[in-house]
Amino acid sequence: MNLVFLPHLNRTERNYTVDKTLNPAPQTRHGLPHSQNCFVCGEANPDGFRLKFEIGEDNHIYLPFRARETMQGYGHIMHGGLQATLLDETMGWAAAVLLKRMHVAAELNIRYMEQTPLGTDLVAEAWCLKSNARMSSAEGVIRDTEGKIYTRAFGKFIPISPEENEFVDSQLIYHDGDLRVFEDWIIQDRS
């Protein structure tokens, strides 16, 4: 059994909410690139979420979504595995934009705190806790627009090789205004 310290969690409250540090005032956000067939952000994947990642001025990654009926576990709650998928991707992007290299999950710890409703405006939000050339750790939540947290996660992520990163970047689709996350890093790596 993994025991994980989850900062920002007030265990005495029945309804967990986002700390003020996790619920910033409205801010400018930029889109992040996506791929054609990614299960989370691929715009051509008919079975996927087809969502758009955003980065805020606070370097948090935001993924606004509304869980559809086809994403239910049972009753009218969102399937936990799909929540884990969203948090995996969102935390991975938090590490990637900080180090300017795509990352893959090495370890995920998920805590389901409340039943996550379908048909509600939700946000997966993630931020990098620490990062170095070998590993990054990130934290994330799924919350509603009022700040109520339904799911919290902690993960460790490993950066991919420079060659893999350049290949991944060549496969990404950038729309006008999207942050070119890896461009400077790839130019430096070629020098």
Q: What are the structural domains of the chain? A: 27-190 (3.10.129.10)
pLDDT for 8 equals 38
Encode pLDDT of 128-174 as tens digits: 999 998 999 999 999 999 999 999 999 999 999 999 999 999 999 99
- Residue-level pLDDT at 184: 61
Per-residue pLDDT, 85: 98
Q: How far is CA 71 from the centre of its chain?
A: 18
Q: For a pLDDT cut of 90, what percent of the chain falls above it? A: 72
DSSP 14-43: SS-B--GGGSPPS--EEE--B-SS-TTT-T
> What does residue 80 show for φ and ψ, rounded to 5 degrees?
-65, -35
pLDDT above 80 (res 11)? no
Q: What is the pLDDT of residues 168-185, one digit of tens each?
A: 999 999 999 899 888 765
Q: Cα–Cα distance between 158 and 131 in angstroms, integer?
A: 10
**What sign has the CA pseudo-torsion 58, 128, 40, 179?**
positive
pLDDT at 183: 77
